[in-house]
Structure 1
Amino acid sequence: MKKRLALVALAALPTVALADPPDFDRPGAGFATSVLPAGTLALEQGLPTYERQRQDGLLDRTYTADSLIRIGLGGAWEGQIGGSAWNRLEERGGAERRHAVGHGDSSVALKYAPSGTDGDGSFTWAALGEVTFANGDEDFGNGARQYSLGSTMQWKPDKDHQNTLYANLDRLKGRNTWTLAPTFGRTFGENGMGYVEMDAIHDAEDGNEVQAGGGLAYTIGDHVQLDAYALHRVGRHGPSVRAGLGLSIFFGKKA
């Protein structure tokens, strides 16, 4: 499903012209507190994401080419389609090794971001509701439909700094997973941005997990962004390493 939707969206790209770029949702915890202008499109692509985890005597390495298509609906609303058309799992336990390749689950989401000022000392926020469908391959899917509701709150004390707080609830198989993640960012010149973050996660099944790290983003021109990030486990639960590279492109209409 995700692959077909992505191909349809990419086929339409030559018919649109570039406009002033919005904020991208990549990288970092949460998402931008703004939405795309009506009728515009953005593609945010992992190149890929890497995750390393040891669990039940097995060492898993997973590579995920995660994709997000954002569509401006007008006003304070934005639609999103997400998924991963390609995943690779490398599993090792003692002398045994196994690998698998396949696609992950697909998702649809709706973002609401009321307008706000963008000057020094400004506060903005956005909310995102998402449904993830259990249509991925066995090694890369949730196995059941998941419902998510999250919010990002952002405060800019001055033109060079921005602080955000991301809160999210996932509901899967009758269990809740809570995430709370503060992020502290700074711009460097006109094109660079860096940030540090800490993700605190409470899973009803797997217990508490803390990830800490940060990332960088660099814009090329006005409509392309490259990013890189890495998170490391703090404590005993969760993936020991999570890292990735990304490419984001904004497509819009001329006024």
Structure 2
Amino acid sequence: MRLPVAACLLLFAATAHAQGSDDTQPPSFDRPGIGFSTDTVPRGALALELGLPSLARDRDTDGVLSTQYSSDITLRMGLAERLELQAFATPWNRLQLRPRGGPTHTERGAGDAGLALKFALPTGSDRHSVALLASSTFATGDRDFSEGGTQYALGASYEYTFNDRWSGALYANAVRGAGADEFTWSPSLSVALTDTVSSYVELGFTDSDGDPSTAIAGAGVTWMLRPRVQLDASFDVGLDNASPDLQAGLGVSFYFD
């Protein structure tokens, strides 16, 4: 019970801090969704993004049903104009394996952690925006929740604003290291439903060396509970047998300056 209590205390403290802030519009948060926003945190400001938690469920070809719950945390720190540093981790995971006709096996532990630099490229246009994200993930997690080695990734996100309500994005990311080479790309479409509620739909495609390609589709919603506090909910479903059956999550994000 220690983790839920600590999470509740952190949520309460952060919400109280955010409520006491002015109404300056924060940059877009990176969660939820497959990709990331093209905004960066201003110099000296912070953004804290938490998964509360996420769920992944899949049944493999042998009939084993795996259900994993994971918490994730990302801290974004503004270093300069258009440049931010990110620190991220998955400090809590719970994996349940249930074979057909067999006993259920459960594992718990921490996942890997890493650092990233995000840079927003100047475009000279209010409609177009582009950002790059270079990251390294280190094998700091427990055996069942670690990639087993350092991984390096380079991602890019492009966003186009159609009007005051609609926008589209295209995301791509390449990962290398820990015996894996992987490339993911994802188009998405977002709409502002009200001044505080937005929704999106997305597709995601991943090619991995030595593994079948996967395809998923999903949607999500965000709600600005306060000017600097965002709640989110999202899900993705697999479009083929090689893809995870279901991925879903709830989250909360805070902005401080």
Aligned residue in 2 for 1:112? 119
- In the alignment, the residues of structure 1 paired with residue 249 and residue 28 of structure 2 have an alpha-carbon distance, to the nearest angstrom, of 19
Aligned residue in 1 for 2:68? 62
Q: Runs ≥4 in structure 1, deviation > 6 angstroms?
A: none
Amino acid at match of 2:112: D
Task: Note the 1:19-168 alignment, pairs <5 A.
Answer: 19-55=24-60, 57=62, 58-94=64-100, 95-116=102-123, 119=126, 122-168=127-173
| Larger deviation, residues 140-149 vs 107-116 | 107-116
Give 1:116 deviation, angstroms.
Answer: 4.6
Give 1:211 deviation, angstroms.
Answer: 0.4
Residues 172-204 of structure 1: per-residue CA shift (max 9 Å, x gap): 334311101000010011001011000011111
| 1:214 lines up with 2:222 in the alignment | no
- In the alignment, the residues of structure 1 paired with residue 143 and residue 136 of structure 2 have an alpha-carbon distance, to the nearest angstrom, of 18
Contact 2:147 2:178 in 1 (8 A): no
Aligned length: 243
Q: Which runs of 5 or more residues in structure 1 are unaligned? A: none
Aligned residue in 2 for 1:198? 203
- SS of 1:42's partner is strand
| Larger deviation, residues 54-63 vs 127-136 | 54-63
- SS of 2:144's partner is coil
Q: Which runs of 5 or more residues in structure 2 are unaligned? A: none
- In the alignment, the residues of structure 2 paired with residue 118 and residue 242 of structure 1 have an alpha-carbon distance, to the nearest angstrom, of 35
User: TM-score, structure 1 length as denominator?
Assistant: 0.89
Amino acid at match of 1:143: G
User: TM-score, structure 2 length as denominator?
Assistant: 0.89
Give 1:111 deviation, angstroms.
Answer: 0.3
RMSD value, Cα = 2.2
